[in-house]
């Protein structure tokens, strides 16, 4: 899209709907939460404005700097926010944009045909949730500046110098009285900006961190095709990326897809470069058309007869990027998690039906690979279903005699029940004796379960420990998983505090993420935090969960204090295990959640997949961040 053909963008383009106080009173309504996700959402809102200038054809660079004082500076080389007086408001366009909740060029269809910011509220929300914000605009040959305190201007917009360039710079200090943390995470920003650079071939995004000296640039000429190759860097593709690009009903569509020899699907969708983690109408259109076109091709070429492939069959092992650009997208909520625009579904559906059918017809070798992959998935799914049916019938009679059997609780309301998955019989014995039998169940597992990242879903139930876990939890596995059938709303991984324990915990998390994902999405998965040390002297004893707590306890008791290091849960007697790790009144547990679905998918692929090189690179990059190293 060539934005330079659009009408003039000046102060008369700014339309305002008043009100900013509600942002500080109810920040979650505008940024989703006040935890680390909400904090980083502030950065994304400002950067999205720069990306909007890129999509409109006016900018090529966006620079983001994490400053040593905890602030963030975002600079783009776009047109610069208008600084002239908005007649209806009696103040500058810059001040209107930064102080009025519903204000910006995005209400004026002549200023932005497509934009990632929703309703233009982004930068004003950032201003309202920051203790301080400084806006610097390069425009009309001058450098303009205005500063704010919690959204209130310190004074008028003033020229502070001359310039030949154009652009906008926003520096802000997030309000620590509103956010749970104001410490920015480099990797969370890195992931977002890398994605945006893949989606906008024209842009170069620079991320710098004054705290560490780290800096990197993101620019990808290959666009979404290169994006798919990046996502598959730890996997084994079975063909070159398929790139489908065009326009339908005013919606610009850019799709890349590539099948691997694995079993997990990763389909990520974007609207105006904004990630839609919950998908929406564009995702529905893509999936529907993909299933139809592959089935049609398979039947027309005699590869299928009366039967059909299901959606899960044609998506097994698929990595895809769906990127659309459209005017006035309708999202569900300010955080833009899900697209609701009906025109997006019909446009993507129609486009995919035509372009994918055309691709399959013109590329018979790749088409054969794709269809065979789907047929193989179908056969595996049917074999797994037969195995599950047989297992269910068998286990009605034999559950009580399974090795590592479940010690269930007496409570039957899942909302009140907890399942502790414990490593080994020794720890299992202590846990069974130390638990509260009313609501706590114990399932010991022996050794390390299968790495499901490398295992066919059809073979999972052949593994005894995974079968026992599936039966105990009660929801099934994979596409058949039913969250309404689970028997516990707290599923607690309780392993030893050593390398083997960490590995077992990681394998369990991989199982839950890939085969029982709703458990994590509903917040039902936890990691127990047993103490690492017992510090005691005479009748006094203190449990310490890290070296700092241990050192403090020793100092408090004097140089005659004794220290015991727990290497395994089995070293604790039942009472100690209850007191420190299982008693709801005193225990510490980590709740498992997904903050960035794309990053989570990548980490599981890199760390648990077959390819060694990406894992080695990850370890080298993060080696200095290790806190506890068990050698």
Nearest to 520 by CA among 491, 480, 478, 479: 491
CA-CA distance, 469 to 511, in Å (whole number)?
10
Residue 155 token pair: 């004074």
Beta-strand relationship, 15-17 and 72-76: unpaired
Catalytic: which of 480, 498, 521, 571? 498
- List, in sequence order, every beta strand (DSSP E) within 449-528: 490-494, 525-528
Residue 496 is among the residues annotated as catalytic for this protein: yes
At 277, is the secondary structure helix, strand, or coil?
coil
Catalytic: which of 53, 423, 579, 596? 423
Long-range contacts (CB closer than 8 Å, 24 or more residues apart) made by 562-566: 562/535, 562/536, 562/537, 563/533, 563/534, 563/535, 564/533, 564/534, 564/535, 564/536, 565/532, 565/533, 566/497, 566/530, 566/531, 566/532, 566/533, 566/534
The distance between the two most distant Cα atoms of the chain, rounded to a whole number of Å, is 84
CA-CA distance, 459 to 194, in Å (whole number)?
36
Helix axes 597-608, 223-231, angle to 10 degrees: 50
Cα 569 to Cα 59, 267, 501, 617, distances in angstroms: 58, 40, 10, 33
* Spacing of C-alpha 111 from chain mean position: 32
CA-CA distance, 149 to 118, in Å (whole number)?
24
Residues listed for the chain: 631
Catalytic: which of 10, 500, 541, 611? 500
* Spacing of C-alpha 128 from chain mean position: 26
Enumerate the β-bridge partners of residue 136: 145, 169
Residue 462 token pair: 């052949």
Residue 423 is among the residues annotated as catalytic for this protein: yes
CA-CA distance, 98 to 121, in Å (whole number)?
9
Catalytic: which of 100, 265, 496, 601? 496
CA-CA distance, 249 to 247, in Å (whole number)?
7
Cα 140 to Cα 23, 81, 377, 563, distances in angstroms: 32, 11, 60, 69
Question: What are the residue numbers of the active site?
Answer: 423, 496, 498, 500
């Amino acid at each position: 899209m060539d934005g330079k053909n659009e009408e003039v963008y000046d102060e008369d383009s700014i339309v305002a709907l008043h009100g900013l106080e509600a942002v500080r009173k109810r920040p979650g309504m505008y940024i989703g939460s006040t935890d680390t996700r909400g904090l980083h959402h502030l950065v994304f809102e400002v950067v999205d404005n720069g990306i909007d200038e890129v999509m409109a054809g006016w900018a090529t660079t966006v620079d983001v700097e994490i400053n040593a004082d905890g602030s963030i500076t975002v600079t783009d080389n776009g047109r610069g926010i208008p600084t002239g007086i908005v007649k209806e408001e009696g103040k500058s366009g810059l001040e209107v944009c930064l102080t009025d909740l519903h204000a910006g060029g995005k209400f004026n269809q002549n200023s932005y045909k497509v934009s990632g910011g929703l309703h233009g509220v982004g930068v004003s929300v950032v201003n309202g949730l920051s203790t301080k914000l400084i806006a610097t605009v390069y425009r009309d040959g001058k450098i303009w500046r205005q500063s704010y305190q919690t959204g209130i201007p310190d004074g008028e917009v003033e020229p502070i110098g001359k310039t030949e360039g154009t652009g906008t710079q926003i520096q802000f200090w997030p309000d620590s009285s509103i956010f749970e943390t104001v410490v920015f995470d480099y990797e969370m920003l890195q992931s977002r900006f890398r994605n945006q650079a893949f989606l906008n071939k024209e842009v170069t995004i620079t991320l710098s961190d004054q705290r560490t000296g780290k800096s990197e640039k993101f620019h990808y000429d290959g666009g979404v095709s290169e994006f798919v190759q990046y996502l598959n860097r730890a996997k084994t593709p079975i063909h070159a990326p398929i790139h489908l690009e065009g326009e339908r009903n005013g919606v610009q569509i850019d799709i890349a897809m590539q099948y691997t020899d694995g079993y997990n699907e990763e389909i990520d969708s974007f609207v105006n470069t904004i990630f839609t983690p919950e998908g929406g109408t564009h995702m529905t259109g893509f999936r529907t058309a993909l299933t139809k076109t592959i089935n049609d091709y398979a039947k027309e070429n005699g590869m299928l007869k009366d039967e059909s492939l299901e959606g899960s069959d044609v998506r097994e092992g698929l990595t895809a990027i769906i990127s659309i650009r459209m005017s006035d997208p309708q999202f569900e909520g300010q955080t833009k998690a899900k697209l609701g625009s009906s025109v997006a579904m019909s446009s993507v559906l129609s486009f995919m039906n035509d372009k994918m059918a055309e691709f399959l017809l013109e590329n018979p070798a790749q088409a054969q690979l794709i269809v065979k992959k789907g047929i193989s998935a179908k056969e595996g799914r049917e074999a797994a279903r037969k195995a599950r049916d047989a297992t269910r019938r068998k286990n009605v009679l034999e559950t009580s005699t399974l090795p590592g059997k479940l010690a269930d609780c007496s409570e039957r309301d899942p909302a009140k029940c907890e399942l502790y998955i414990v490593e080994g019989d020794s720890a299992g014995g202590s846990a069974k004796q130390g638990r509260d039998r009313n609501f706590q169940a114990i399932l010991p597992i022996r050794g390390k379960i299968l790495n499901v990242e490398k295992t066919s879903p059809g073979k999972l139930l052949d593994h005894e420990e995974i079968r026992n876990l599936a039966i105990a939890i009660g929801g099934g596995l994979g596409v058949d998983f039913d969250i309404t059938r689970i028997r516990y709303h707290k599923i607690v991984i309780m392993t030893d505090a050593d390398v083997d324990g960490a590995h077992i915990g990681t394998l369990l998390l991989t199982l839950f993420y890939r085969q029982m994902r709703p458990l994590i999405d509903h917040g039902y998965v936890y990691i127990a935090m047993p103490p690492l040390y017992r510090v005691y002297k005479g009748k006094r004893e203190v449990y310490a969960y890290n070296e700092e707590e241990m050192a403090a306890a020793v100092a408090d008791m004097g140089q005659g204090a004794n220290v015991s290091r727990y290497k395994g849960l089995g070293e604790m007697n039942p009472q100690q295990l209850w007191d420190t790790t299982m008693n709801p009144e005193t225990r510490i547990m980590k709740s498992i959640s997904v903050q960035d679905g794309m990053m989570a998918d990548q980490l599981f692929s890199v760390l648990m997949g077959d390819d060694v090189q990406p894992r080695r690179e990850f370890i080298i990059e993060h080696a200095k961040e290790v806190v506890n190293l068990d050698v």
